[in-house]
Structure 1
Amino acid sequence: MIKTSITSTFILSAATALIMSSFSSPQARLSPPPGKSLPAPPGMVYIPSGTINYKTGSDSAAGSKNISISSFFIDQAEVSNKQYRQFVNWVADSVAITNYLNDPSYFKEIKQGSGATAISRKIIDWDKVKKKSPFDDHSPAVQDKLAPMFVMRGDRKMLNPNVLKYAFTYLRSGGNTAGQYVTDTVSVMPAESIWSKDFPNAQMAMMDQNYFYHSAFDNYPVVGVTWKQARAYTDWRGKEFVASLKKNSYLKDFIFTFSLPTEAQWQYAAQGNGKGKASTEKMAANFKQDEGLYSKDGATFTLPVKSYSRNEFGIYNMAGNVSEWTLDAYSPSAIEFVNDLNPVLLYDATPNDGEVRRRKVVRGGSWKDPGILLNSDTRNYENQDMPHSYIGFRCVMSAIEIPSAQVKAK
């Protein structure tokens, strides 16, 4: 796990049956008072439904059409290292408990159903784990059992990235298996030495060795994460949120969906007032303003996720800092066949699919990009399995639409 007591990495093995079973979070108070709007989940802002001119490119020849987008919540800031480490640590605890310790005291029994059809099963007791992680137990017996979870990287003892894996199930889109439920098992650790890999013949050792692990970078955007790793995080975060509603009688049975933002949601949220894009000539954002001018905006690399001013929706860094994964598969002609209501182009590529089908849309521009990539309607793409030091992400959650004043009876 990534705690100060363990210098650096977290890793989990593919113990997935229990990894996805139980969550524990502070109770969320989301029942809206009569006539009031639904409060946003922690760290998110509410985006009301609206209509925009949806574009798939910034030049005059790019296609566009008017689309409508229903309301949703979106992260106010990019997912930070600290937030993503919570996910990794949760995976590490899960793997340690289910695959290595086999200590019954870390489990509790729950019953589902009633009468003759009632089923009992054991799940991890997260209330206990949160009080004391198995990695905080320094007894020789426990340390011996957990030893296979670690590897050495020079003088540093780290959790093994090949052990830290998370499984999640979803309905596949596209291809011969479209419409079938599939389970992906994803290694959750950000890519090692990603800064040096992205910038060969550049001095990046400090960033490689500290960026994800040291508290000095807690509030910086997580990078080195693939599209699938980002989706795994949204799945985990959604389950954590649903668990937090278990005592909320109004919302406990409502099915909320966390995901990456669709390309259309991202563009709508980035435009703020829905009217267009800002000029990059005097933009307060983290981007490369000319050849070699990385630090002219105040930073050479990334900045904390709440740097600069918020846009009209109250969101930080939709332009610059890090580019962001979206949910959409990339196609130059996507606008020709997506719907005009909540458009999205979904394609879950398999390992046998070619590179073109593995492309996912990336939006927003980053700290190393020129201003043209920061426009809200400029799109780019990357292979879903390729992490980079300049691509991060944020989450969205489905929202209960709040009727506007125009629908009230006269």
Structure 2
Amino acid sequence: MKALFYAGLPFLILFGCNISPSEKAANANELDSAVTCASVIPNRFSRISEDSLTYISGDDNAKMILIPAGEFKMGSTSFDDAQPLHNVELSSFWMDEHEVTNAQFRAFVEATGYVTLAERPLDPADFPGVDPRMLVPGSAVFCAPKNIQGLNNHLQWWEYIPDANWRHPEGPKSSITGKESHPVTQLAYQDAEAYAKWVGKRLPTEAEWEYAAKAGKHQYETYYWGSDKKENGKWLANIYQGDFPTHNTKEDGYEITAPVKSFPANAFGLYDMEGNVWEWCADLYRPDYYANSPKLNPRGPAEAYDPQEPGTVKRVQRGGSFLCNDQYCERYKAGSRGKGEVNSPTNNVGFRCVKDIK
């Protein structure tokens, strides 16, 4: 598995963003119905007043919001691995109002001495046949190319950068100084899980994540926030504008991550449940899991399996990132699923935590 991460990492990054022609056709049909259905849905900003929200603070002093127990229809007809649509019933839980920030993760590292996967030295014995000079800690970084040959080869815009890690998310010349309120990135699944345990929390299941993101909205909303990308001329999420991946017009004000809470919250008071960075979930990934998912508090399959990359261990990721748009990566849309190899951090993946109600 280590060899897959370091020698084959670029191949493990964004298969979840590749959309097949059949999925695009199905998506177009749902978009049409979404426009019709969404026209009678209350604006997301008016569903729940600020005064009615219930908060606690976690051990990391992060504001957490009470997500009430309830039932919802999970999934999407636009994506093959998000079918069939099925009813899910969840118990109440607490959820961080925003993604874990650089400042919060730094406090964890300073208190514990934790070293993330992307920072750890590599043992040549784990990588037989690989030139030892190639075995340097680092991670994958999105690098906008000047020219591309189609969108089928994501190696055109992803590069393994030595010394790229959570402190230097775009490489050794980058820094999180001045970006303390941005979501932390470049974390493998085990890094996110370690933080969650330290603060007495856990990572959300994908059912909890989707339920919280939809926040009682209609099943056929196109996006988690509604049916339009803008409101009153302002973008509602940090996603990619322009010609992907060569020209980002940054109409939403950001080229990469944005400070948490830069965009409006959803009806539950949660920020960035769409765009900004992908978020790790606790569930192992299988494209066929929904056919066998239990109705009450599903926790994901017992084993991971991705037919595109058999033998890899993947966990679900949710919400999309600053790189998502309709041109290539459409899985920031409501009900969709992302996936990530557990040892493959990138600069567009972060996380938030949840907490059980005792």
Match of 2:213 in 1: 270
Q: Give the distance between the partners of 1:302 and 1:312, measured in 2 at CA.
A: 22
1:52 Cα deviation from its structure 2 partner:
0.5
1:262 Cα deviation from its structure 2 partner:
0.5
1:281 aligns with 2:229: yes
Q: How does 1:51-90 map to 2 (within 5 A)?
A: 51-55=71-75, 58-59=78-79, 62-90=83-111
Q: Give the distance between the partners of 2:160 and 2:277, measured in 1 at CA.
A: 22
Match of 1:234 in 2: 196
Match of 1:260 in 2: 203
Out of 395, 398, 404, the position equivalent to 2:353 is 395
TM-score relative to the length of structure 2: 0.62
Match of 1:337 in 2: 292
1:383 aligns with 2:341: yes
1:293 aligns with 2:241: no
Match of 1:366 in 2: 321
1:285 Cα deviation from its structure 2 partner:
0.6
Contact 1:40 1:73 in 2 (8 A): no
Match of 1:302 in 2: 257
What's the secondary structure of 1:224's corresponding residue?
coil
1:280 Cα deviation from its structure 2 partner:
4.6
Q: Give the distance between the partners of 1:398 and 1:66, measured in 2 at CA.
A: 21
Out of 48, 51, 62, the position equivalent to 2:68 is 48
What's the secondary structure of 2:110's corresponding residue?
helix
Q: Give the distance between the partners of 2:172 and 2:228, measured in 1 at CA.
A: 33
Contact 2:67 2:94 in 1 (8 A): yes
Consecutive unaligned residues in structure 2, runs of 5 or more = 1-53, 122-136, 144-154
The alpha-carbon distance between structure 1 residues 195 and 217, as it changes in their structure 2 partners (threshold 3 A), is farther
Q: Give the distance between the partners of 2:313 and 2:287, measured in 1 at CA.
A: 14
Q: Give the distance between the partners of 1:333 and 1:224, measured in 2 at CA.
A: 28
1:280-299 C-alpha deviation (Å, 9 max, x unpaired): 53251110134123512111
Q: Give the distance between the partners of 1:81 and 1:348, measured in 2 at CA.
A: 31
Q: Give the distance between the partners of 1:38 and 1:201, measured in 2 at CA.
A: 40
1:221 aligns with 2:183: yes
What's the secondary structure of 2:282's corresponding residue?
strand
The alpha-carbon distance between structure 1 residues 368 and 38, as it changes in their structure 2 partners (threshold 3 A), is closer
Q: Give the distance between the partners of 2:105 and 2:169, measured in 1 at CA.
A: 20
The alpha-carbon distance between structure 1 residues 72 and 88, as it changes in their structure 2 partners (threshold 3 A), is same
* Corresponding letter in the other structure for 1:66: N
1:336 Cα deviation from its structure 2 partner:
1.3
Contact 2:55 2:65 in 1 (8 A): no
The alpha-carbon distance between structure 1 residues 191 and 231, as it changes in their structure 2 partners (threshold 3 A), is farther
1:337 Cα deviation from its structure 2 partner:
1.3
Taking only aligned residues, the RMSD between alpha carbons, in angstroms, comes to 3.2
The alpha-carbon distance between structure 1 residues 356 and 318, as it changes in their structure 2 partners (threshold 3 A), is farther
The alpha-carbon distance between structure 1 residues 82 and 195, as it changes in their structure 2 partners (threshold 3 A), is farther
* Corresponding letter in the other structure for 2:260: V
Consecutive unaligned residues in structure 1, runs of 5 or more = 1-36, 96-159, 164-189, 239-257, 401-410
Q: Give the distance between the partners of 1:201 and 1:232, measured in 2 at CA.
A: 24
Contact 1:48 1:70 in 2 (8 A): yes
1:192-245 C-alpha deviation (Å, 9 max, x unpaired): 57456964499x99942365x54301010111101111111111111xxxxxxx
1:337-362 C-alpha deviation (Å, 9 max, x unpaired): 1210011214477xxxx854501111
TM-score relative to the length of structure 1: 0.54
What's the secondary structure of 1:217's corresponding residue?
coil
1:40 Cα deviation from its structure 2 partner:
5.1
Contact 2:67 2:95 in 1 (8 A): yes
Give the share of equivalent positions with the same residue, in percent.
Answer: 31
Contact 2:229 2:236 in 1 (8 A): no
* Corresponding letter in the other structure for 2:251: K
Q: Provide the aligned length of Structure 1 versus Structure 2.
A: 249
Out of 209, 213, 226, the position equivalent to 2:172 is 209
